[in-house]
């Protein structure tokens, strides 16, 4: 897993994020540097390119609990973590 360096992170206010969400996300993805979101001068969250974080835990938390439509069947079906990873274009 690649560590995210917050020392070079861009500071983005909640107002700026609200008004320019698409541009902030595009900037984060292009620069590879995270953005720290603040409200009234307090840090609330960080936005980082998905390639820099491990999403295995998030996928594992969804496996077995979230329905995913099966292309071969009209009923809701559950998928395993590896299938979810492939369909999302993620690599282990």
CATH label of the domain that carries residue 32: 3.40.1620.10
Question: Is residue 62 domain-resident?
Answer: yes
Domain that holds residue 83: 56-88
Tokens 């995913």 sit on residue: 68
Give the residue-averaged pLDDT of 1-16. 79
Give the residue-averaged pLDDT of 46-52. 77
Across-strand partners of 1?
none
pTM of the model: 0.54
State the pLDDT at residue 74.
47
Distance (Å, rounded) from C-alpha 56 to C-alpha 81?
8
51-83 pLDDT, tens digit per residue, is: 645 555 556 555 555 454 545 554 455 666 677
Q: Are residues 45 and 77 in the same domain?
A: no
Closest CA to 36 of 6, 4, 3: 6
In this prediction, residue 19 has a pLDDT band, given cuts at 50, 70 and 90, of: very high
Q: Are residues 15 and 30 in the same domain?
A: yes
Question: Is residue 70 domain-resident?
Answer: yes
Q: Are residues 68 and 82 in the same domain?
A: yes
State the pLDDT at residue 27.
94
Q: Are residues 16 and 44 in the same domain?
A: yes
């Amino acid at each position: 897993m690649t560590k995210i360096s917050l020392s070079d992170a861009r500071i983005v206010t909640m107002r700026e994020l609200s008004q320019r969400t698409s541009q902030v996300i595009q900037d984060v993805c292009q620069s590879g540097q995270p953005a720290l979101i603040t409200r009234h001068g307090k840090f609330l969250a960080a936005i980082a390119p998905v390639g820099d974080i491990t999403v295995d835990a998030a996928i594992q938390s969804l496996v077995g609990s979230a329905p995913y439509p099966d292309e071969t069947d009209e009923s809701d079906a559950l998928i395993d973590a590896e299938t979810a990873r492939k369909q999302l274009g993620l690599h282990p």
